[in-house]
Each structure stands twice: as C-alpha cells, then as structure tokens.
Amino acid sequence: MNKINIAQKFSLFQEQWQPKIVGELNDSYVKLARLKGEFIWHKHDKEDEMFLVIKGMLTIKLRDGDLTLNEGEFVIIPRGVEHCPFAADEVQVMLLEQKSTVNTGDIQSERTVDNQWI
C-alpha cells in the first residue's frame, strides 16, 4: 500500500490530453491528466466517467448545455452521454474510469492513447 502525492505525479509529465494512470480501484483506474484547448466530441457506451478538477477550470460541453467545473469540483458523465471537454487555460484533472475506458470513447483519432502508468 503506497500513498500517492498528486502534485509530485503531475510534475512527472507535461503532455496534454494524455492521461496517466496513478492507481487502481476495483475495476477502475485513477488517472491524472493535463488538459488545454478543446478535445473531441465523444461518448462512452459502456462506462461512466468522473472528472475532478485539481487545478484550474474545466468546461464539459454537452449537447444541452455546458458544465463549468472549478478546483475541487467534479462531475460524473453517465455512459452514453456525448461530451467534449474544454479548457481555455491548462487544467489538471483526476479521472476515475473503468479499465476498459478509451480516452476518445467511441471515436478513434490521433487523440486516442494507450494506458500509461507513472
């Protein structure tokens, strides 16, 4: 059993839109990611997805309106809901996702990444 220092883990990478695994919880991964700019519209047909803002501000664009998350706030995007994360300035987030979750959901693109531990 090891404790994880979130700030120390964020210091290990600078890449944006490439989540890094920092832990496992049952059938899920705990991931950290740096985000800036707009991602792609996508959905996860079989998995819910949690975004927790550690530093900065994140907007989750939804087809029926946007959600803005500030530091210390989180949202769970239910499976099947199309969404598009956006950050005007870099934001640091923690994600909680099932191990089967692909970062681009139902879309394969140049933004699709393999799981990577740090």
> Which pLDDT value is given to residue 106?
74
Name the helix (H) or strand (E) containing 95. Answer: strand 83-98
Parts of the chain with a pLDDT under 70: none
Are 61 and 84 spatial neighbours (Cβ–Cβ below 8 Å)? yes
> Which pLDDT value is given to residue 47?
93
The reported pTM is 0.92
- Domain boundaries of the chain, sorted by first residue: 6-98
User: What would the pLDDT profile of 38-71 be if each residue is shown by its tens digit?
Assistant: 999 999 999 999 999 999 999 999 999 999 999 9
Are 62 and 81 spatial neighbours (Cβ–Cβ below 8 Å)? yes
Taking every pair of C-alpha atoms in the chain, what is the biggest distance, in angstroms?
42
> Which pLDDT value is given to residue 55?
98
Q: Does domain 6-98 have CATH number 2.60.120.10?
A: yes
